[in-house]
Amino acid sequence: MAIAVCPGSFDPVTNGHLDIIQRAGRLFDKVIVLVIVNPDKTPVFTREERVDMIQRSIDLPNVEVDSYCGLLADYVKKVGAAVIVKGLRAVTDFEYEFQMALTNKKLAPFAETMFLTTSASNMYLSSSVVRQVGSFGGDISPFVPEQIKQQIAQRLKRA
Ligand code: PNS
């Protein structure tokens, strides 16, 4: 069974992330969306909120959500995943993603990083765009799933 991990901060999850997750779901037997806790970053949304928002946004039988504080390579080993799936938006993403892919290949040589090209409609989209628009009370509905739009908007206004 081919297991893929889709890692990220997901602070918060966007329509761009969901597009990648859904497409990964069609390619692999099982996809684990992994909220990675970075101790050096202070996210707007808690670990639990981020997991919960992804769970409420996706209803696919082969996709599950988990969270982890540590190295992605260690998690990949723990669950026996063969693939790490990332979305690539633009050339600007490439250098950072390339560095991570090579580091993960050293740490977990059995796992391959696969990049899915972001859909054209989501090229500009990122969690930080959502945070910025939402924090000034702008309309975030084009950027995030309907089910969690309200929760994100309220939280960002307060933050
Ligand atoms: O959504 P993001 O912030 O671009 O996701 C980055 C993430 C969480 C995938 C990346 O920072 C990560 O894998 N962190 C875990 C720590 C790790 O494994 N580092 C070594 C690879 S460079």
The Cα 20–Cα 35 span in angstroms is 15
Is residue 107 within 6 Å of ligand 1 at its C-beta? Answer: no
The one-digit pLDDT tens for each residue of the chain (159 residues) are 899 999 999 999 999 999 999 999 999 999 999 999 988 889 999 999 999 999 999 999 999 999 999 999 999 999 999 999 999 998 888 999 999 999 999 999 999 999 999 999 999 999 999 999 999 999 999 999 999 999 999 999 877
The Cα 19–Cα 102 span in angstroms is 24
Among protein residues, the one with the nearest Cα to ligand 1's atom 10 is 8
Q: Are 2 and 28 in contact (CB under 8 A)?
A: yes
Cis peptide before 12 (omega within 30 of 0): yes
Can you give the pTM of this predicted structure? Answer: 0.96
Q: Is 89 a catalytic residue?
A: yes
Beta strands in 13-82 (DSSP E): 30-36, 63-68
The Cα 93–Cα 128 span in angstroms is 14
Q: Which atom of ligand 1 is nearest to the CA of 72?
A: 18
